[in-house]
Amino acid sequence: MKLITAIIRETQLDAVREALIEADITRITVSRVSGHGQQQSVEIYRGQKVVPNLIPKTKLEIAVNDPFVDITVNTIIKAARSSSDVMGDGTVGDGKIFITALEECIRIRTNERGGAAI
Amino acid sequence: MKKQNWRKILLFGVFVLFISGNVFANEGVEIDSGATAWMLTSTALVLLMIPGLAMFYGGLVRTKNVLGTMMHSFAAMGVMTVMWIAVGYSMCFGSNVFGGWFGWNSDYVFLSGIDTSIMEGGVPEYVFSMFQGKFAIITPALIAGAFAERVNFKGYMVFIVLWGLLVYNPLCHWVWASDGFLFNLGANGAIDFAGGTVVHISAGISGLVAAIYLGARRGYPKTAIEPNNLVMTMIGGGLLWVGWFGFNAGSSVSSGLSTAQALTATQAAAAAGALSWMIIEGIHQGKATALGFVSGVLAGLVAVTPAAGVVQPLGAMTLGVLASGVCYLFIILKNKLKYDDSLDAFGVHGIGGIVGAIFLTFFIRKSWMEQASALVDGGWTVMQQLGVQITAVMIAIVYAGVITFILVLVINKTIGLRSSDSSEMAGLDNSYHGERGYGMLNAN
């Protein structure tokens, strides 16, 4: 079992969700986070361009069994690249994916454990 | 060559402005400070409805579209005011041109000729013009609820400008100008006290046509599309209720008995509408929702809008109950038919307006019917008035529907009205405004 944590652009959330649902990966947790990356984001504030110091991002957490890791990761990459509808080459700020080993998973309702609970 | 033409047009425009300056100076009529004070208050109250509508609609959409949706109302305050001062007032309240299609009076262009004009009721014409101008703002803003979350901002702006010119101004002229043909239909005109046909039916039908033409939002109706902030929607609904006193009671353009009658009818219908929606929903779904309550308030208010001048409290409450019931059924029907009227602009404003404009006929106070009978030397029956009401409603539906269809089609094919898939997924706020609504929720 692995825990896939993806930090993506807020604007790509719907594209990623749609793609994941299409790939039959429907169990996800989404949260709003802020952080520093390489990206210099520019916003417009009362007619002035400003660079905020912390950039809002969306974090996805998906626990999967090992055979599903590749398809999940590839789906996220494909949909989260900011220019995925044009060239697919992406730009700075598209985000990162972290994969960590998942020790245990328990379904509270049934007390099932391990891969069956995911 | 082209440049020269432009110069000619500009010169002509300046010339028209020059000769039209200050011809009217109405010294004969005294200002009635009581009526003027109430009309100033009403004007402010109707303006308050537009931020109210922005909050009402803004709370109902998803987080990524909250600013874009609120901007649909706010931008209307900007562009429709400018259009109103430039030509809107003239097209609505000038004398018939083109066989009565709309009005025109060059004194009203840029309001240049009414600087010192005082109307018969003792109210400065500036006040009346500004009061009416607020209606021209809120009507296109109401339409935006039907195609929320999926239109291009630029296309929307062009749409409301053209819609104001080609739909609102002619309709307003027909119903409210003294030489408008619906104003003079039947014995004493089609009854539309504060804008049941002009505002709510026209906005509702136009919204329906646009929503069907533009197609549903991505994922509708399969994915749940839930409100981002119902608290804001409740505040907005509250502001609309308060503002509606200006909308209805101000439409008497006086400060007296008819104002009091309209005010009472407004409160009665809103309360009855809210209560009945709550009861219907409570029985049908087992819970009385907050959104249901404000929807009932709106249904009641919309239904009493055309009727406020002619019905007594019991009639107003009946209209409120009827409107809530019919709107509730219609929203169920919408969900069966699966067209995407995002925020039920048609379901509440269109249907509520139609219910109000037609069923008000059965609750008209006696003195109005007697006055109408006297005007045609003898009998004027409820059934005859019903015919007049239905005619006015049908004309509003067909006219607004057809012109809106043409506008939406042309704008969508040229500038683009429907958002692209990627802008829709990213959200209106990011795609068209470069901002986010709730930035403060993030630690930045």
What CATH number corresponds to the domain at position A19? 3.30.70.120
Of A7-11, A60-64, B394-398, minimum mean pLDDT range = A7-11
Mean pLDDT of all residues in B399-409:
97
Q: Within a 13 Å sphere around the CA of B34, how many CA atoms are in the beta-carbon half?
A: 6
Nearest CB to A15: which of B425, B439, B441?
Answer: B425
Residues B86, B112: contact at Cβ < 8 Å?
no
Nearest chain A residue to B62 by CA distance is A14
Residues A59, A6: contact at Cβ < 8 Å?
yes
B58-76 pLDDT per residue, tens: 999 999 999 999 999 999 9
Q: Which of A10, A44, A85, A86 to mutate: most B Cβ within 10 Å? A: A10
Question: Which residues from chain A sit within 8 angstroms of residue B442, using beta carbons?
Answer: 32-34, 54, 56
> Is residue A92 within 8 angstroms of chain B, CB to CB?
no
Nearest CB to A34: which of B430, B435, B442?
Answer: B442
| Beta-carbon separation of B434 and A12 below 8 A | no
Which domains are present in chain B? 42-433 (1.10.3430.10)
CA distance B427 to B48: 27
Question: Which residues from chain B sit within 8 angstroms of residue A14, using beta carbons?
Answer: 64, 218, 425-426
Mean pLDDT taken over chain B:
91
Predicted local confidence at residue B1, as pLDDT = 43
**pTM attached to this predicted model:** 0.88
Q: What is the three-class DSSP state of A99?
A: strand
Q: If pLDDT is split at 50, 70 and 90, which confidence band does B24 have?
A: very low
Domain residues for A48?
2-117
Identity of residue B350: G
Predicted local confidence at residue A51, as pLDDT = 65
Residues A81, A16: contact at Cβ < 8 Å?
no
Mean pLDDT of all residues in B377-388:
87
| Beta-carbon separation of B442 and A12 below 8 A | no
Distances (CA, A) of B250 to A94, B90, B247, B263, B321: 54, 21, 6, 9, 24
Question: Which residues from chain A sit within 8 angstroms of residue B435, using beta carbons?
Answer: 43-44
Predicted local confidence at residue B5, as pLDDT = 57
Nearest CB to B444: which of A18, A52, A85?
Answer: A52
| Beta-carbon separation of B442 and A33 below 8 A | yes
Predicted local confidence at residue B8, as pLDDT = 55
For chain B, the residues whose C-beta falls within 8 A of a C-beta of chain A are 64, 218-219, 421-422, 425-427, 430, 434-436, 439, 441-444
Predicted local confidence at residue B22, as pLDDT = 43
Residue B430 carries which DSSP code? I
Predicted local confidence at residue A88, as pLDDT = 56
Q: If pLDDT is split at 50, 70 and 90, which confidence band does A91 have?
A: confident
Question: Which residues from chain A sit within 8 angstroms of residue B423, using beta carbons?
Answer: none
CA distance B134 to B142: 12
pLDDT at residue B438 above 50?
yes
CA distance B427 to B17: 43
Predicted local confidence at residue B38, as pLDDT = 96
Burial class (CB in 10 A: 0-12, 13-18, 19+), B170: buried
**DSSP bridge pairs for B104:** B95
B139-151 pLDDT per residue, tens: 999 999 999 999 9
Domain count of chain A? Answer: 1
Q: If pLDDT is split at 50, 70 and 90, which confidence band does B380 have?
A: confident
Q: How far apart are the CA of B371 and the nearest CA of chain A, in angstroms?
A: 57
Distances (CA, A) of B260 to B15, B44, B417: 45, 18, 43
